[in-house]
Amino acid sequence: MSVSRRTLLAGAAGAAVAPMARAFPEIMIRSEIKPVVISSGNGNIFKNGGTETCVQKAYRLMMSGEDVLDSLIEGVNILELDPLETSVGYGGIPNAEGVVQLDSCCMHGPKKWAGGVACLEGIRTPSKVAREVARQTDHHLIVGKGAQEFARGLGFTIEDDLNTPHSRSVWQEWKRRTDPDHYLDPKKRGEDSLRVALEMVSEGIIDPLHVYGTINCDGINAKGEICGVTTTSGLAFKIPGRVGDSPILGAGLYVDQEVGAAGSTGRGEANLYGLCSFLIVEELRRGLHPKDAGISALKRVARNTIEKRLLTKEGHPNFGLQFYVLDAKGRHAGVTMSGGAGYAVCDDNGPRIEPCEALFH
């Protein structure tokens, strides 16, 4: 049998490559990591009087060599300090007693540590306090007065009231519309609270995204270092002391350095029931694309939602819930229970809003 020169050369090349692949498999199979910062949509809206949004600033700092988590926290601080952002930090819509209580958590993939605070009063930037919990304690979560005293000991400024004139006026309007007996019937309290809040949304008094408003922000740099942070003022007019998903590891945020990150905004109770951010990261570990991993979590939430008060006439969940998903390659996605939501992205193409994939249209 005759053998052509081309066949001989191809065989020789293959023989040379094969041992190289065995000796240096990472050279042959490792794909390039695309640095990116993603967040909920409000991460590319608010600037607090400056020139950059959250994702812009976080990406710029990260690409200049700053620690990824530090960069993300600098980004979300823009929203925490912006009085126009009524779902995060200073000027967040208060609880049922008119008090602004803030929650946050953060996770550092390479360092494998995490920290969180909940029901924190008087400090505009809970994300910074959450980071100090991770840096300076052996704990993951500090709440209430203890969290405030912890922050005070580190030199954080404690303010008497984090309401702005706008957030207080919104609370006063909500109180005016609520039944005077509202606080005597726990069942009626929950139903009336959400009903009145949604009425105020329909009248343009409250931004619809700010009933369950939050910001989640995640990033990966060129080294593949992954971090995330979530911060919120929580559910509008919540029962004092209520803690949602945002400061809870595995719910409002989860990061695994080898796999990826996921975070959420929306109805925290639905997310908490399934610890969906942890679930999403585990789906990434199985090899799913970020979009498919997020949709998998939404499907689980939908299956677990059986109370009639939480369902549409079609039998779908009637609340908003979004997940923001980033894998170790820099691929990302935003997913939402129903259509209309977007998520913020910043990479070498600049900042932008991309549409979330909806489970129900």
Q: List the catalytic residue out of 214, 230, 265, 336.
A: 214
Backbone φ and ψ for 226, nearest 5 degrees, come out as -115, 135
Sheet holding 260-266, edge to edge: 253-256, 260-266, 321-327, 332-338, 357-360
Q: What is the pLDDT of residues 178-187, one digit of tens each?
A: 754 434 444 5
What pLDDT is recorded for position 103? Answer: 98
Structure confidence at residue 181 (pLDDT): 44
pTM as predicted: 0.85
Query: E strands, 36-182, where?
Result: 36-40, 102-108, 113-120, 141-143
Instruction: List the structure tokens of 118.
Output: 């909940």
pLDDT band with cut points at 50, 70 and 90 for residue 53: very high
pLDDT at 175: 85
Q: What is the mean pLDDT of residues 325-341?
A: 96
Q: What is the pLDDT of residue 4?
A: 47
pLDDT digits (tens, 9 = 90+) for 213-258: 699 999 999 999 999 999 999 988 899 999 999 999 999 999 999 9
Pairwise pLDDT comparison (301 vs 22), residue with the higher score: 301
- Residue 27: the pLDDT is 36
Per the CB < 8 A criterion, the answer to whether 89 and 233 are in contact is: yes
Per-residue pLDDT of 28-48, as tens digits, reads: 334 689 999 999 999 999 999
Among candidates 349, 359, 329, which has minimal Cα distance to 266? 359
Mean pLDDT of the chain, nearest integer: 88
Residue 83 predicted with pLDDT over 80 = yes
Range name among 123-137, 155-169, 203-217, 318-332 with the lowest pLDDT average: 203-217
Which pLDDT score is estimated for 267?
A: 94
Map tokens 């042959």 to a residue: 28
What pLDDT band is residue 208 in, cutting at 50, 70 and 90? low
List, for residues 90-145, the tens digit of each pLDDT value: 999 999 999 999 999 999 999 999 999 999 999 999 999 999 999 999 999 999 99
Give the H or E element holding residue 229.
strand 226-232
* Alpha carbons 310 and 318: distance in angstroms, whole number: 6
pLDDT category of residue 6 using cuts at 50, 70 and 90? very low
321 pLDDT exceeds 60? yes
Asked if residue 357 lies in contact with residue 342, where contact means CB atoms within 8 angstroms, the answer is no
214 in active site: yes
Q: Is the pLDDT of residue 8 over 60?
A: no
Question: What average pLDDT does range 75-98 have in this prediction?
Answer: 95
- Binning pLDDT at 50, 70 and 90, where does residue 278 land? very high
Specify the residue for token string 């989860």: 254
No. of helices (H) and no. of strands (E), the chain: 11, 13
| Residue 340 pLDDT | 86
